[in-house]
Amino acid sequence: MLLSEQDQFLSYNGEVLVFQLPKPKHAEEADDKTMNLCVRRMVFNRDTKLFVQKSSGVFSMGAIHSEIEMICCSCTTDSRTGIILPCILMKKKKRNNVKYFLLLLHSSNQFEPAFYFKLDYELKEDIRLFAGPSLLWRHANKLFYISSNTCVIQSAPVQLSSVVWTGEIVGEGTVVLGIRTACLPETEDPAGFSVSDRAIWGSEFFGYSVQTQKMLTGTCFMPHAYSRVVSSVYVCKSERLKKQLRISLVAITHRNQLIWFQNGVPKGVCELPYEKPCSVKPALTSSSDLLFVVSFASGNSCAVQRRDSLQVASKWQKVNCVLVDDFIGSGSEQLLLLFKDDSNTDVLSTFKITDLGEVNYASGINYKHDVPATEGLQENGLLTVRALETRLQAGWTSVRELQQHLRLQKKVILESCRALIDLVEERTHILPTSKEEGLVSLWDDVENPADSLSKEASLASAVPEHFTEELWQRVVGDSLVVGVKLTESCYLSLHDVSLSLVMDQDFSSISPIIKCQSKIIKLNKAFSALAVSSNQIEPPPKKMKLDLHSKSDLKEEFPKRSSRIQLEGAKTVTAVTSLSPLLAFHRVCCVVLLHARKQNHQNDSLQQSKKITVLCGRILLSLEDISNGRYSVKMLRDHGYCTGSMEDILAVLAASVRFSFQIVSCDCTLTPVSSWLLGEMECTPFKECQDNIFCHKAGNIHGTIFNWALKNPFEGVLTIFCRNLTVLFQCLHSLSRALPPSCHLKLLRSGSKGVLTEQLALALEKEMLTLKNSLFLKETKAENSLTWGNESGKKISSPPLASLLDTAEGVQQFRKKLQNEREESVRSMNQTMNGALYQKMALKIAEAQLSSDMIVWRLSKS
C-alpha cells in the first residue's frame, strides 16, 4: 500500500503501526459512502534488515472520503483493564457540526469505539490524548476535556494561552501544565511565594489536576520567567519527599534551546541546531544514556545527550517522523527515523534505526554476513571513543582537584593545631608566609628574625601550680597511658576534665591530633575509677562505682551529677591511646593539654564557670626507651603486699575494662571467694589501697585487679579490672569452680539501686537549684536583659482617690492612670528576653535535666 501524507505512525511494543485512509481510485469508489480505516502492524526483520508486515486490520465507517480525517494517535491506558492500547482520534465533518470519535485498537486488530462527541467548531489547538482514554484540547483560551468514563465534555475553571505538557504526576493523577496571564492578587500573603517574576514577565506557569480539579504551583516545574519562551515540555521524573513535589523535566524554547530543570531550578542548557522546535521525547539506549529527541517544524530532528552536560549527539534532515521503541528486540530503546522520499512511496521504505552506539541499521545498505562495517558505524565509533576520552579527562581533572582540596584541608588542620599550641603556651602565633604556602604575594613579605625564633621556640610556659602537680606516662600492653595529677586546691569540675595529646612535629601526611580516651581516677580507701567521654550519649556501665562506704564518697563517685567536687584526696586525669601507631615514628614528642571548666567553689551557679585549656607539659616517646622498659609497669611482692607505685596502679586501671558482679549465696557464706582470690589467683593487696588486690598468677590473668566488697556474709560485689574479655572469661571460669553450686552471679550493668537512688536525689536537687538560679538571674538582670513596656521607669504619683474624683480634671487623670496601669499589666505579661541570656539559661537547664535523665536510664537498666 502506498504512503500518504495523512498517514499516522505509532510505535507499540516494538511494532510500527501504520494507520491509513485509502484514497478512492475510481469515480465509483469516490461516491461510495463506506470508508475504511486500515492499520498495518510492521516489524523489523533482523535477517533482511527490512520492515515486514505482521498483520493488518480494517474499520469501516459510513462516510465518504472527503468527510473523514485522522487527527492524532497515541498509546494510552484503558481504565477498565489497566492495559496500554493504541488509540486514534477521528474527525467527521457534517453540515452543521463536527463529529469526533476515538477508537481503541486491540491485539486482534479489532477497533473499538471508546466515545464520540459533537462540536460546532474544529479542534486545532493543543490536542492531547491521555489515560482513560481521555481527550483534552484548548479553545478560545479555555481548557476542555472528555473521558470514556463520563462521555461528557467538561471545562476547567482556568484561562490559559497554551498547554505545554499533559501526563501523570505522583499523587495528583493527570496534570495539565499550561501558561496563562499572570494573576496578581490585590493583597499579597507575606508567607506566599513571590510574584516579582510574574509581574515582570506578564505570564506564569500553572498546573491543573484533572482528577482532583485543584491548582498546582507552577514554580515546582519551572520559574515563571521561562513562561514567555517555553513551547513544549517533557516530565522525566516526579516524586514526593516529605510532602514536597520534586520534578525533573526538559523544556524546549522558541529561542532554539533545550533546558534541563530539576526541582524548578535550571541545571543545564543546550543550543539546538535548527529553528522552531516543536516537540521533545526521551529514549533510554543500551549504554544507559538518556537521549532527548527534538523534532522541528522544518522536518529536521536531532538527539541531545545528557551525561556531564547537555550536548547535541546527532542531527538529521528531511525526517517525516521519529519513533522511540525497542524495534530490534535488544531490551533497550532505539530511534526509528522515517525519511521523506518522493521517489519511493512504499510504507517504511526509507528509514534508519540507531541508538547512537552499536545499533545502526539503515535502508538501502547491503549487510553482508551481518557485519556492520559501514562508514556510518565507523563514524559513530570514532565519536564514541572521543566522547569517552573527554569523559575520562574530565574525571581525571576532578580527581586532581579533590587531591588538591585534601592537601589544603590537611594544611589548615596542621596550622590550626600549631595555633592552638601557641595559644596555650602564651606565644604569638605567626602565620606562614606566602612563599611557604606556594602563593604569590600582592605585597612584599618582611621577614622578622625575632618572630621566626619565637615560632621555633620549644620551651613551654610555666604551668600554674594551682592546677596540676605531676605529669607521667606508662606503657601497659599495647596502650600508652599519660596521667596528670591535679592539686587538691584546684576548683575544676570533674565532668568537664579531659586530656588531649597533640604531636609537636610536622607530619604532612597525618593529623597531629592523637585519638585517646580520657579518664578521671581518684584513689581513696574504697577505690574507684571513673571514665569520662564527651562522645557517649549514654553512660557506659564500667564507669559506675559499686563499693560506696559513705555519703562523702557519693559526690566523688558521680561528679557529673554535682556542681561541686570533693577536695580531699588526690585526683588524676589519664589519657589512653594505642601505642603501635606512635612507634612507627621511632621518636615522638607530644604536647599534653588539659581541658576543664574553671568554677567558683563558693557559688553553685553554672554561670560562674568557664572553659579553660592548660598546657601540662610534653612527653617524649622513643622505641629505644620502650625496649629498655623505661615506662613499663612494675608490680612486685613485698611481705604480702604489692609494691607498685601510684602511677603504675593508675596506669593499669586506666588501661583496663571494669566489670562488676553481684554474688549471692542462699545456704552458705561467701568465704570461698576470699580464699579463691588469695589462693588460686595469687593476689596481694596494694599498700596504698588494701581493699584492691593485684593478681600475680602467671599467664593472661597476670595484672588483673580485683575488689571484693561484702555487704553481708551471704552477699557481695566482685569488681574485676581486666585487659579484655578473654581474661574476664578465664577469671569467671576459675571462680565458678570455687563457688558452691547454690551461688548466683549477676552482672551489674549500672550499679546498685540504692546508690543510684541517692544519686538521682542529688541530681534532682541540682536541677531545682539550676531552675531557681535561672529565675533569680532573670529578675536581677531584668533591667539589662528584659525589655519592658515602661522603659522610662517613671512611677505615676498616687494622690488620694477622693481628691481625684472631686473634679472633672481629677476624673480624667484617674482614667488616664487606670489606662496606663492596664497597658503596663499587658506589657509585663508579654516580656521578651535577650537571646544570649536565654540561650545560656536554656543550656544550664538542659545540662541539669540531662544529668537526672542519665541516672533514670541507669536505674531502668539495673
Give the dihedral of Cα atoms 225, 231, 236, 241; nearest 10 deg.
30
Cell numbers placing 149:
468514563
- Per-residue pLDDT of 358-382, as tens digits, reads 888 888 765 544 444 445 555 666 6
- Per-residue pLDDT of 15-38, as tens digits, reads 999 999 887 665 555 566 788 899
- Examine the pLDDT at 556 and tell me if it is beyond 70: no
In angstroms, the CA 838 to CA 832 distance is: 10
Query: Are the CB atoms for 303 and 297 separated by under 8 Å?
Result: no
Give residue 785's pLDDT band: very low, low, confident or very high (50, 70, 90): very low
Phi/psi of residue 460, each to 5°?
Answer: -85, 150
In angstroms, the CA 529 to CA 64 distance is: 103
- Per-residue pLDDT of 700-734, as tens digits, reads 888 899 998 888 888 889 999 998 899 999 999 99
- Examine the pLDDT at 601 and tell me if it is beyond 70: no
According to the model, what pLDDT value does residue 489 have?
63
Query: Is the model more confident about 18 or about 765?
Result: 18
- Per-residue pLDDT of 316-325, as tens digits, reads 998 989 999 9
In angstroms, the CA 862 to CA 860 distance is: 6
Query: Are the CB atoms for 170 and 182 separated by under 8 Å?
Result: no
Query: Is the model more confident about 859 or about 484?
Result: 484
Cell numbers placing 786:
528584659
Query: Is the model more confident about 411 or about 488?
Result: 411
Could you give the angle at which helices 671-678 and 725-738 cross, rounded to 10 degrees? 120
Strand intervals (E) in 218-309: 230-241, 244-253, 257-262, 265-271, 277-284, 290-296, 301-306
Q: How many CB atoms lie within 10 A of CB 614?
A: 18
Cell numbers placing 693:
588486690
According to the model, what pLDDT value does residue 412 have?
82
Q: For the whole model, what pTM was predicted?
A: 0.45
According to the model, what pLDDT value does residue 18 have?
93
Q: How many CB atoms lie within 10 A of CB 280?
A: 21
The number of CA neighbours under 13 Å toward the Cβ of 24 is 15
The number of CA neighbours under 13 Å toward the Cβ of 686 is 27
- Per-residue pLDDT of 203-212, as tens digits, reads 888 899 998 8
Per-residue DSSP letters for 333-375? -EEEEEEP-SS--BTT-SEEEE-SSS-EEETT---GGG----H
- Examine the pLDDT at 562 and tell me if it is beyond 50: no
- Per-residue pLDDT of 437-476, as tens digits, reads 554 444 444 444 444 334 433 433 444 446 778 889 999 8
In angstroms, the CA 417 to CA 410 distance is: 11
Contacts 24+ apart (CB under 8 A), 250-254: 250/280, 250/282, 250/292, 251/164, 251/222, 251/226, 251/280, 252/277, 252/278, 252/279, 252/280, 252/294, 253/226, 253/229, 253/277, 254/229
146: exposed, middle or buried (C-beta count within 10 Å: 0-12, 13-18, 19+)? buried
Percent of the chain at pLDDT exceeding 90: 22
Query: Are the CB atoms for 479 and 655 separated by under 8 Å?
Result: yes
Percent of the chain at pLDDT exceeding 70: 73
Residue 263 DSSP label: T
According to the model, what pLDDT value does residue 3 have?
57
- Per-residue pLDDT of 393-439, as tens digits, reads 788 888 888 888 888 888 888 788 778 777 776 677 777 765 555 54
According to the model, what pLDDT value does residue 790 have?
42
In angstroms, the CA 249 to CA 167 distance is: 12
According to the model, what pLDDT value does residue 567 have?
32
According to the model, what pLDDT value does residue 749 have?
67
- Examine the pLDDT at 91 and tell me if it is beyond 80: yes
Cell numbers placing 356:
547512537
Residue with cell 566522547: 387
According to the model, what pLDDT value does residue 357 have?
80
In angstroms, the CA 154 to CA 394 distance is: 53
In angstroms, the CA 425 to CA 679 distance is: 52
- Per-residue pLDDT of 157-198, as tens digits, reads 888 899 999 999 888 889 999 998 877 655 444 444 455 555
In angstroms, the CA 73 to CA 58 distance is: 16
3-state DSSP helix/strand/coil percent for the chain, to nearest 5?
25, 40, 35
Name the helix (H) or strand (E) containing 38.
strand 34-45
Put the strands of the sheet holding 498-503 in their side by side order: 513-514, 498-503, 587-598, 610-622
| CA-to-CA separations, 27 to 23, 30, 32, 86, 792, in angstroms, rounded | 11, 5, 9, 33, 106
Contacts 24+ apart (CB under 8 A), 28-33: 30/64, 30/65, 31/64, 32/64, 33/62, 33/63, 33/64
Residue 698: helix, strand or coil by DSSP? coil
Cell numbers placing 299:
522536518
Give the dihedral of Cα atoms 390, 395, 398, 402; nearest 10 deg.
-160
Give residue 786's pLDDT band: very low, low, confident or very high (50, 70, 90): very low
Query: Are the CB atoms for 523 and 570 separated by under 8 Å?
Result: yes
Residue with cell 515602661: 790
- Examine the pLDDT at 802 and tell me if it is beyond 70: no
Amino acid 713 reads: P
Q: Which of 7-11, 206-210, 491-495, 789-793 has the lowest mean pLDDT?
A: 789-793
In angstroms, the CA 337 to CA 352 distance is: 5
- Please, what is the Cα angle at 811 between 809 and 812, to 5 degrees? 65
497 Ramachandran zone, left/alpha/beta (phi>0; psi -120 to 50): beta
According to the model, what pLDDT value does residue 402 have?
87
Of the candidates 305, 294, 307, the one whose C-alpha atom is nearest the C-alpha of residue 252 is 294
**735 CB-near residues (< 8 Å, 6+ apart):** 673, 676, 718, 745
Residue 796 DSSP label: P
In angstroms, the CA 545 to CA 557 distance is: 6
Q: Hey, which residues does 263 pair with through a beta bridge?
A: none
Q: How many CB atoms lie within 10 A of CB 410?
A: 15
Of the candidates 574, 586, 583, the one whose C-alpha atom is nearest the C-alpha of residue 516 is 574
In angstroms, the CA 576 to CA 350 distance is: 80
Mean pLDDT for the chain overall: 77
End-to-end CA distance of the chain: 89
